[in-house]
Amino acid sequence: MKKISVSILLFVVSLFIYSCTKDDGTSVEPARDYSDQYLKDIDSIDKFIDTHFMTVDTDYNVTFTEITDETPGTPIRNNPNLQFKMIDNYDEDGDDFQYKVYYIKLREGVNERPTRVDSVFASYKGVLATTTAQFDYAEQPIWFQLEGVVRGWSEIFPLFKTGTYDTDEGPNPVTYDNYGAGVMFLPSGLAYYNNSSSSGTIPAYSNLIFSFKLFELQYKDHDRDGIPSRFEVATQLNSDDSNLDEYNKEANFIDYDSDGDEYANMFDIDDDADGVQTRGEIILTTNPQTLYPFSGIPDCSGNTTNPTRIRRHLDASCKPPY
């Protein structure tokens, strides 16, 4: 169970997570070859999970300890919940390889699953995979957009779900339960790569470990066209994604542009370039994916030039309602 003040929730709802964004307060070293650096990174991460054990308390707070004669323990490698996901590299150097990202599901969660284009409300702790030194910590959860943070977060968070909550009488506490909680081990190419923090707490080419708890999410509609952005990106299921909900598949290509106008669909108010705004072409059903992508212009009967799509205008004049 997790209790959080409503006043805190209202305050942090307007905040974004700064420490995990690729923005101010960093210095940049010369870029190395991504595939060469990845080989060093995964070797270092493998050594870490072979030489450290993990302690988890009842609130899913995580600590890491090196295994020694004085501090014996079971290696993370032997944790039955340790899994990995293969992630395609698509950085500017064009190297053809995949990142292997280890993660641990302490608890999956029971409610909704985000995609990488949504906002999540989560707490976290970040440590270096070399020294386990803590470089960032948010005990109280905050809101952030997954497409605006380091890529590793947008790849791993969609494997978890939100939980449940209760509001109690009194000085406004909120109690969270059944939320997703986990750990991710990120190679530098999915974190800050050749950027280092100005304080020196995160050196360039650092492999990072985050423990986190996913409490809430908000499905985003970036272009406000009535279609949640998660339905406007190209989706692709890998073998390790087979357990994802049918309509909450991981968004692998957020720059998907169906009409070739150089505006990604999640930012394009007219996805089919027919001169009619998308929000004037559709009504949402229980399965928005049957409405997408849009093509053709509805006539007065509610039919379209593409009868395989379900669309209609909402006004009697057959003109877009917006």
Q: Which of 19, 279, 17 is nearest to 135 (CA)?
A: 19
Strand 134-145 and strand 234-235: pairing? unpaired
Is residue 124 helix, strand or coil? strand
Name residue 180's beta-bridge partners: 214
Burial of 314 (C-beta count, 10 Å sphere; 0-12/13-18/19+)? exposed
Tokens for 40, please give them. Answer: 């060093």
The tens digit of pLDDT for each residue in 263-318 reads 888 888 888 777 777 776 665 444 554 445 554 444 444 444 443 333 333 333 33
**Residues of the chain below pLDDT 50:** 3-19, 21-24, 236-252, 284-286, 289-291, 295-322
CB neighbour class for 301 (10 Å; exposed up to 12, middle 13-18, buried from 19): exposed
Interacting residues of 132 by C-beta distance below 8 A, sequence separation 6+: 52, 64, 65, 66, 209
Q: What is the pLDDT of residue 234?
A: 62
Catalogue all structural domains in the chain, each as residue range(s) with its CATH number. 2-220 (3.10.50.40)
Q: Which two tokens stand for residue 89?
A: 């590299």
190, 99 Cβ separation under 8 angstroms: yes
Note the pTM of the prediction, 2 decimals: 0.76
